[in-house]
Amino acid sequence: MNAEYRLIVFDWDGTLMDSIARIVTSMQRAFVDTGLRSPASKDVEEIIGLSLGKAIKLLAPNDDESILENISDRYRHHFVDASEIPMPMFPYAMPMLESLKAQGYLLGVATGKARRGLDRVFGDIDCHHLFDATRCADETESKPHPKMLNELMQELNVPAEQTLMVGDTEFDMVMASNAGVDAVGVSYGVHTRERLLENQAVECVDSIEQLHNWFDKLSTQAFANTNSRCKL
């Protein structure tokens, strides 16, 4: 673990936004609309964080491209236009982001959402100003490929050893490992603490409050290290 991170990259769904119920229900409704059996909630949760196309192929591996495209279209309809399920930010997420920004960290997002979807959310909650760079699954490779993180680090000119990934799935942890980046897992999303730690998370927390406290301790350690070097 590095006390002197400069760039913190967050996953979105299940990490900053409580959108899991809406994703699961929208996917199940999309399958029913297409004439297929609704997948179990746990199976949909397994693919959260991947690009939409990759996720649907895992849920319906034996169906042809036209059926998969129909599922995608119906999913978008239910998720964007027809869902009654709210998607709040997790409690304390915004204060944590504002605190990190005020401390001078660069903040990024690496998400399985499409660009249109992330921009819509940013507009709804007015948080675009908090992030220095973002990458969406329809712009680059899906997790766990490291391209999202590599592009963010290149854009912001930050090396891997000064970058930290925060996410709720093993896809986030593996993407970080593939990019040579440390990762912190959050167990309040879809994957368990054990699973996140097994996939090389340097730490795992159970709430946004714990995550915020972890960052505060990190900042204190970085400040102490800076003072120690100055004295030398």
Residues 104-157 pLDDT 10s: 999 999 999 999 999 999 999 999 999 999 999 999 999 999 999 999 999 999
Beta bridge partners of 182: 164
Q: Is it the case that residue 158 has pLDDT exceeding 70?
A: yes
Domain 20-81 has CATH 2.60.40: no
Positive or negative CA dihedral for 134, 139, 143, 147?
negative
SS3 of residue 10 by DSSP: strand
- Give the tokens for residue 130: 């908090």
Element (H, E) at 41: helix 41-47
Structure tokens at 212: 């915020």
The predicted structure's pLDDT at residue 203: 96
What's residue 26's pLDDT? 97
- The per-residue pLDDT of the chain, averaged, comes to 93
pLDDT value, residue 220: 79
* Spacing of C-alpha 27 from chain mean position: 18
Domain layout of the chain by residue ranges:
7-18+89-231, 20-81
- Which of left, alpha, beta for 46 (phi over 0: left; psi -120 to 50: alpha)? alpha
Task: Quote the tokens at residue 188.
Answer: 């309040």
Per-residue confidence band for 218, with pLDDT thresholds at 50, 70 and 90? confident
pLDDT in tens, 57-79: 999 998 899 999 999 999 999 99
pLDDT given for residue 230 in this prediction: 46
**Do the beta carbons of residue 4 and residue 225 sit within 8 Å?**
yes
CATH fold label, 7-18+89-231: Rossmann fold (3.40.50)
Please tell me whether the overall predicted TM-score, pTM, comes out greater than 0.85 for this model: yes
